[in-house]
Amino acid sequence: MKKLIIIPAYNESASIQSTVEAIKRDAKGFDYVVINDCSTDQTRNICEENGYNIVNLPVNLGIGGAVQTGYKYGMKYGYDIAVQVDGDGQHDPKYLMEMSDYLLETGADMIIGSRFIKKEGFQSSGARRAGIKYFTFLIKLLTGKTITDPTSGLRMVNRDVMSFFAHDYPKDYPEPESVVAVLRSGRTVKEIPVIMRERSGGVSSISLKKSVYYMVKVSLAILIEKIRPRNGRSR
């Protein structure tokens, strides 16, 4: 069983080293790959000096394009499971073993690490929580499934979903939209409680200014996902 950790990194020089070291220490049995999304800071140098496994995108693609590169990497090198762990230190790699056990045990296609099942740890700001609740509601309305943390970047998928994502993954703000795509294709998504930390470096990709665009774009994307022709498992 080959398991891959995808670490999308854009200007994460402050936290990339601690993220990768934590993975090496706490996530035994997992390989990792850093997807450097054409960072303009020292991210690339830090990774190369430490001999980390890194894929350097020659053009900045945004989070969706970077994560998708990871899924393509996973397909290319024959991984059975892939999990996204953000490069900013928010996700604790010690949950990964638990997540992969749960994925294999339940036979689910996708496992999301959710902050809002046990409501412990860093809970994000009130405004963001309200936004997340709204997405939960929208997804429930459209798919009938409850996803408590649809914006979580900590998500693990099996090879089937990996190939689905390698073929087609949203460009920006991909999390809620891709969950809907997976649910709509008839695959199963399950959540597991996790505790997230506040980011240890870098800035959130969603500034206050962008949040309006985020809400509108993701809502539309989810609605359009709903009226898209269904893509069966055979894809």
User: Residue 123: exposed, middle, or buried by beta-carbon count in 10 A (0-12, 13-18, 19+)?
Assistant: middle
**Residue 66 CB, nearest approach to other proteins (Å):** 9
Dmax (CA) for the chain in angstroms is: 48
> Considering only residues 3, 44, 72, 190, which one is a binding residue for other proteins as defined by CB under 8 A?
72
User: Binding to other proteins by residue 1, rule CB under 8 A?
Assistant: no
- If one asks whether residue 55 binds other proteins (CB under 8 A), the answer comes out as yes
The answer to whether residues 78 and 2 touch, using CB atoms and an 8 Å cutoff, is yes
Residue 39 touching other proteins (CB under 8 A): no
Among 18, 26, 57, 201, binds other proteins (CB under 8 A): 57
From 12-20, 71-79, 81-89, 199-207, span contacting other proteins (CB under 8 A): 71-79
Asked whether the beta carbons of 118 and 192 are under 8 A apart, the reply is: no
HEC string of 70-121? HHHHHHHCCCCEEEECCCCCCCCHHHHHHHHHHHHHHCCCEEEEECCCCCCC
Sole binder of other proteins in the list 51, 76, 203, 230 (CB under 8 A): 76
Q: Report residue 61 as tokens.
A: 């693609």
82 binds other proteins (CB under 8 A): no
Give the residues lining the site for other proteins (CB under 8 A). Answer: 35, 54-59, 61, 65, 68-69, 72-73, 76, 171
